[in-house]
Structures are given as C-alpha cells and as structure tokens.
Amino acid sequence: MANGIIEISFAARGGQTAVTASQLLAQFAFDKGFIDVIAIPIIGAERRGAPIWAFTKISKNKPIKTYDSVVNPDYMLIFDTSLLNIPRIRDSIRESTILLINSDKSIDTTYLPNNIKIYSVDATKICIESNLMLSSGPILNIPMLGAFGKITGFYDLEIMKNIIKEEFGEKRLPKNMKVAEEAFNSVKEVKS
Amino acid sequence: MSKAKEFVQKKETKIIKGNVAAAYAAKSARVQVISAYPITPQTTVVEKLSEFVDGGLMPGTQYIRVESEHSVMASVIGASIAGTRTFTATSGQGLFYMNEMIHWAAGTRLPIVTTIASRGAAPPWNIWADFSDVINARDTGWMSAFCATHQEIYDEILMSYKVCEDHDVLLPKFVAYGGFILSHTSKPVILEDQDLVDQYLPPLPDEKGWPQIFIDPDRPMMHGNLIMPSGFYSEFRMKIQDTLMKSKEKIKVATKEFEKIFGRSYGNGLVEEYHMDDADVGIIIYGDLALQMEQAIDDLREEGYKVGMTKLRHYRPFPTEDIIEVAKKVEVLGVMDRGTAFGSPTGGPVSSDVLASLYNTGITTKILPMMAGIGGREVNVEQQKEEIKTLIKMKETGELPDNLIHGTLWDGILEVK
C-alpha cells in the first residue's frame, strides 16, 4: 500500500476483458465511498491472446496524484494460470501481494513467494455454464470482480448490480449478476 | 436551433477517461459544429461526440466527417467564420497534417477550440505522451494550454471558449493533455450543471456572427486575400502578438470567474504554484507529470526538504512575468520538458523560454533544463523525487550535474553507443 492507496494489478490476455475489469473496479469502489480512484490500462500493440496489463488504484481518504504503473500490488487478479509461466508477470508478485487466480485446478506455487495468500475461482467454467461468451472466449471480468468483492469487501453485489445496469443495460443484467453471484459464493482460499 | 429534445446535464460525478471528459466539455459548451477525423490517441473524443449527436443529446449540432485533418481544420474554419462555436480534436501526426490550416485559423482570428491528446512525433512511430505535437504549433498564433488532470481537461475547455470568444481576443486555442496517460485512464470527473455552464460562457453567436469577422451578404467582406507588402500584412501580424500578450489578463479573469462559479481553482490561470513560498529549490513542470510531481513534493517535504513546484498551465501566451516571480523565490530552479525543440538553446521548448524570460532581470537563480518522459516513457514518482534531489544537490554543491547533454539533463535516458 503506497501512501494509504490500495493498488491492484490485472494480468490477463487480450480478449479476456481485464481492461474493462480495471475500470469497473474503479467505479465499484467509488460508489462504495472511496474518495478517489483511477483505472490505468497499459496500451501498446495489443491483440487477442497477448499478455496485457491494467491497474486500478483506489483511495479511502486522500486524492490519488499518480499515473504510474503499480509495481507493488496489494492485490493481483490473474485471469489465466498460463500467465504465471511468464517471468515478467511472476516477478511482479510481492510477498505481500494477495492473488486472485482464475483456475480450475490446484495452483503451482513452486515459483511464488513463500506463504503468499492465494484465492482461486473458476471464472471460465462459470462463464461457459452461463454462456457469457465473446468470440474471444469467456467474458471473465464480472465473475473475477464478483470474487474480488467477496475477498476484499471493497464493494458488494448490490453496487455491482447498479453499475452493471448503468453500463451494460437492463437486458444484460440477469446473466451478469448470475455469474457475479456464483463467483462471489464459490471463491476460496488456496493453501500454498 | 431546437432545444426541444435536449438532455439537460445536471451536476454529477462520472468516472471517465480524459478523452470522454473532453467530449463532455464540448457538449456542455453547446458546440454547434464538430469536424472529425480519427487519430490515436484522440479518436475516442470524436467517437463519443458522434454518440452524443447520434443519440440526440446535442440537437442542432452539425457533425462533419471528412477525409483528413487538413480538411477538419478547413471545415471548422468555414463554420467559425460563419459565426458558430466549433470544436475538434487531434493528435501528433494529425496536427502536423493540419498545419497549413492552423496558421489560417489564427490569421483569420477565429475562436476555434481544439483538444490535443498529445503524442510523440514520428518517426520512429510513436503514439504515447509527448508534447512535441502542440509545441510544433507554437508559432502559429494559437493559444495553448496543458492539462494535468481529467477534471482540468473538462474545465480548461470551458475556460478556453470564454477566452477565445472574447471580442478583444478572437484567437484559437489548443487544449493539450498526455496521450494515454490522461486520454485512456479513468478518474472521477465532475460534469457541471448546464445552467451554470450557460451562465459562465458567452452566449452563442447570433446570425450576425463575430463582430469583426463574418459571412453576411448584406455586409460583404473579403477573407484572406493577397496583401501587398505595403498593405496591412505587418500590422495584422503585430496585432496577433499584441492580442496574445494581452490575452494573459483575459485568461486570469476567466480562471477567476470559473473559480467563483464552479469552485475549482487553477492558480492565476497561467501558472499554479505548489509549496513555492518557502522553497529553496523548485521545478517548473507541465501536463500529467505536474500532478505526479505534487506527490514527489509531498513525499520530500515529509522528509524535511523545502521544495516546491510551479505548474505551467499556458505555453502560449508564455507567462514571462509569473516565471520571473517564480525564479526569484528559489536558489535552484529545474525546468522539466516532455517534448523536444531540436536545436534550440536547451533542446527543451519551455526551458529555452524560461531562460529567455529571465534575461536582463538580474536574477541569479541557477536554472537546470531537464527532459523526461519523451515518447511516453514512464516516469514514476520515485524518479521524480530523484530529479528534485538532483536540484537539491546543485544547491548544496553549487555545481551542475556532470551528465548533461548540451546543458540539459535527459533523465531516464538509456546509454546510446
């Protein structure tokens, strides 16, 4: 935590909707009463499947004055376990970072810091079962954020509902809330 | 123009990208003609406006799609001469392609407001934050402002219309902000009540257009025709310089009135000081790096250093008088550029202007021209703290750093063989 500001990084692949996730998280936190937030996508020559970064910083009581990348994340959302094989991504994980990983199997912690806190949720399965899909694959942002809300308490399902309705419209609300709730209820801590 | 279907903005806070804040400002200003051609990282400004126009949120606004930036500026020039409030947005290469028409807009004395999501000049191809684009338009007669925050983009656009359309000014203005760093990140932005914006801005021009420049069959006037050297060309040019220099007072007044109505302050409009009054060491800085430098100053003050900064808000007109006052306050003053002026005394556009401003004033403050973040290279707070510590060391030792390149510190530059 830098200067009382909570910093979250998102590691994902192009098409996994992590940039939108970083923006929605900023909105959820702001609605919950955080006084300042910023969502920072790192824009380069992205294409589907390529590793991408995004960051969100949220602050309870003071303005956020920085635009720089998060290098000591308090939380890290990893949308795809294969990203843990990429040294640049693995090296950005600190001992104090709390991980939320989208995974359907046990997490290989060999190369992670000792005693790191890890949560996992099978967001891919949740999306496939509810048919929440894009041509690029499952729309992982809402279930990942549902799980993240559960483990942090930074916002709740009611706030998610209001903003999803505002951003995506009434029609898309039921399916998105279904996956949010499923992830909220099924996220669990992994023993490392 | 019918206002029947219009959605009336009430004051609200939205978490939006810098580009979207620019689009909302154009909407709040009730612009009547928008001309658009896409270019990264500006594109989402005109995309958002096309959504507003298509969705009926800006009834009566004409949205013109053209085939190039040159035509963008040509079309807003036409619309502005006809007496309408106009808006467009561009970036980097797009601004360069507009260049001929940019001169034309200022020479015709038109109050056009154009936002620039600034990006590095190619080649090598670059789309990231660097103010070399707006700096390239320096000598055209346009005013230019830098924004450090998302809110400032929205606010500065409103203030710009106020200044540009003043009948004693009638000049165009660029509102520039760092590409991606502001254009594509999202932050809370207060969108103002439409009634208050209407109260703040001058009324939209009526069918007679601007008082000095118009298209009216009953009052025939020629525009931009050939003037022999013995004609009034010299005087037209002198008047642009005279007006730009006098516009400093207009900017100050517009900033003060903005603060009175909306409660947000931006220094005197030209510069904004931060902890300068008791500082021994200071830095002049602009754009997004200025907000982040505030954090560096906060951190260093906690460590006991008496340091401060001055945010440069306007590049043209250049606030010479304020810069002199700022330089008097400190023993060492850094000037940070994010943009290049090749072959100029320092290589940095603002640092060269700062040095020129201090000539013949008797001020002995040591000035260090600095450069960082060129082509969007990331500058973090820790790096900015080191930059200030370099200035502190200069004060302590009385010596310049030994790694200057033609007198300028290029911070964060890789070694080039």
* Binary contact (A37, B188; C-beta < 8 A): yes
**pLDDT mean over B173-198:** 98
Residue B315, amino acid: Y
Here the CATH number for the domain that contains residue B109 is 3.40.50.970
* Residue B415, in any domain of the structure: no
- Sorted by where each begins, the domain ranges of chain A are 5-191
User: What is the average pLDDT across B287-307?
Assistant: 98
The pLDDT assigned to B4 comes to: 45
Q: Between chains, do A37 and B295 touch, taking CB under 8 Å as contact?
A: no
Same domain, B105 and B231: yes
- Cα distances (Å, whole numbers) of residue B67 to B88, B94, B334: 14, 12, 43
Q: Where are the beta strands (DSSP E) in A4-163?
A: 5-13, 36-41, 51-59, 75-78, 98-102, 118-121, 133-134, 137-138
Closest chain A C-alpha to B373 CA, distance in angstroms: 11
Is A26 in the B-facing interface, judged by CB distances under 8 Å? yes
Tell whether B236 and B301 lie within a shared domain: no
Is residue B236's pLDDT more than 50?
Answer: yes
| CB proximity A39 to B under 8 Å | yes
- What are phi and psi for residue B126, nearest 5 degrees? -150, 135
For range B10-18, the mean pLDDT: 96
Q: Same domain, yes or no, for B244 and B300?
A: no
Answer whether A43 sits within 8 Å of B292, measured CB to CB: no
Q: What is the mean pLDDT of residues A62-73?
A: 95
Stretch 54-73 of chain A: residues touching chain B, C-beta under 8 Å: 64-69, 71
Which of B262, B295, B318 finishes a domain?
A: B262
Query: B331 and B182 in one domain?
Result: no
Confirm if B339 and B288 have CB atoms less than 8 A apart.
no
User: Could you say which of A65, A67, A71 has the minimum Cβ distance to residue B181?
Assistant: A67
Spell out the residues 6+ positions from residue A66 whose beta carbon is closer than 8 angstroms to its own: A57, B291, B292, B295, B380, B381
Residue B278 DSSP code: T
Specify whether B309 is located in the same domain as B208. Answer: no
Contact B185 A39 (CB under 8 A): yes
Amino acid making up residue A143: P
Confirm if B163 and B247 have CB atoms less than 8 A apart: yes
Domain boundary among B213, B232, B262: B262
Amino acid identity of residue B57, one-letter, is: L
Nearest-CA distance A188 → chain B (Å): 30
| DSSP calls for B187-241 | EEEEEPPHHHHHHHSPPPP-TT--SSS---TTS----S----TTTTHHHHHHHHH
The total number of structural domains in chain B stands at 2
**pLDDT class of B406 with cuts at 50, 70, 90:** very high
Are β-strands A36-41 and A51-59 bridged in parallel, bridged antiparallel, or unpaired?
antiparallel
B320 burial class (0-12, 13-18, 19+ CB within 10 angstroms)?
middle
Residue of A24, A36, A37, A68 to mutate, interface with B, max B Cβ within 10 Å: A68
C-alpha A123/C-alpha A144 separation (Å) is 6
Domain-located, residue B417: no
Instruction: Provide the CA B353 distance to its chain's centre, in angstroms.
Output: 16
Scored b (16 or more CB within 10 A) or e, B406-416 reads eebbbbbeeee
Q: Do A43 and B298 touch (CB under 8 A)?
A: no
> Are B406 and B383 in the same domain?
yes
From its phi and psi, is residue B326 left (phi > 0), alpha (psi between -120 and 50) or beta? alpha
User: For position B383, which CATH number holds?
Assistant: 3.40.50.920
What is the per-residue pLDDT across B241-254, written as a single tens digit (0 to 9) for each? Answer: 999 999 999 999 99
Cβ–Cβ gap B185/A66 under 8 Å = no
Contact A65 B15 (CB under 8 A): no
The string of pLDDT tens digits covering residues B354-372 is: 999 999 999 999 999 999 9
Q: Identify any residues that bridge with B115 across adjacent strands, giving them in sequence order.
A: B89, B175
Point out the residue among B184, B294, B378 whose CB comes nearest to the CB of A41: B184
Say whether B187 and A38 touch across the interface (CB within 8 A): yes
- B390: containing domain: 271-410
How close does chain A come to B92, measured CA to CA in Å?
A: 16
Nearest C-alpha in B relative to A37: B187
The Cα of B118 is separated from the nearest Cα of chain A by a number of Å equal to 15
Low-confidence winner among A42-46, A89-93, B86-90 (lowest mean pLDDT): A42-46
Largest CA distance in chain B: 71
| Chain B stretch 386-405, residues whose beta carbon is closer than 8 A to a beta carbon of chain A | none
Contact B291/A67, CB-based, under 8 Å? yes
Q: What is the pTM of this model?
A: 0.96
**Average pLDDT of B105-124?**
97
CB contact under 8 A, B292 and A36: no
Contact A37 B15 (CB under 8 A): yes
Does B15 contact chain A (CB < 8 Å)? yes
- What is the pLDDT, as a whole number, of residue B1? 45
- Inter-chain residue contact A71 with B41, CB threshold 8 Å: no
Instruction: Read off the tokens for B272.
Output: 């904004």
The answer to whether the Cβ–Cβ distance between B288 and A41 falls below 8 Å is no
Element (H, E) at B114: strand B113-118
pLDDT at residue B416, rounded to an integer: 82
On whether the A5-191 domain is CATH 3.30.70.2740, my answer is no
Closest of B41, B173, B47 to residue B118, by C-alpha: B41
Question: Which range (A89-93, A124-128, B118-122) has the least confidence?
Answer: A89-93
Where residue B224 falls among pLDDT bands split at 50, 70, 90?
confident
Measured CA to CA, the distance from residue B223 to residue B212 in angstroms comes to: 11
Tokens of B208: 């007679």
pLDDT above 70 as % of chain A: 97
- Say if B120 is an interface residue toward chain A (CB within 8 Å): no
CB pair distance less than 8 Å for B184 and A67: no
Encoding tokens for residue A48? Answer: 């589907």
B379 reaches A (C-beta below 8 A): yes
The two three-digit tokens of residue B93, written as one number? 């290469």
pLDDT of residue B5: 52
Distance from CA of B98 to the nearest CA of A (A): 25
Q: How far apart are CA B382 and CA B48, in angstroms?
A: 35
Instruction: Give CA–CA dist B46/B116, Å, rounded.
Output: 12
Answer whether B291 sits within 8 Å of A65, measured CB to CB.
yes
Q: Considering only the beta carbons, identify the residue of B186, B299, B380 that sits closest to A38.
A: B186
8 Å CB contact of A68 and B381: yes
Higher pLDDT, A183 or A50: A183
Q: pLDDT-derived band of residue A2, with 50, 70 and 90 as boundaries?
A: low
**Same domain membership, residue B320 and residue B283:** yes
Does the beta-carbon distance from B378 to A68 stay under 8 Å? Answer: yes
Mutate which of B186, B297, B300 to test chain A, going by most A C-beta atoms within 10 A? B186
pLDDT in tens, A111-150: 889 889 999 999 999 999 999 998 889 999 999 999 999 9
- The predicted structure's pLDDT at residue B3: 46
Confidence band for B204, pLDDT divided at 50, 70 and 90: very high
Whether residue B380 lies within 8 A of chain A, CB to CB, comes out as: yes
What confidence category does residue B2 fall into, taking pLDDT thresholds of 50, 70 and 90?
A: very low
Task: Determine, yes or no, domain membership for B29.
Answer: yes
User: What does DSSP assign to residue A131?
Assistant: T
pLDDT tens digit sequence for B55-64:
999 999 999 9
User: Of B236, B262, B288, which marks where a domain is finished?
Assistant: B262
Of the residues A27, A52, A67, the best mutation for testing chain B's interface (the one with the most B CB atoms within 10 Å of its CB) is A67
Query: What average pLDDT does the segment B64-92 reach?
Result: 97
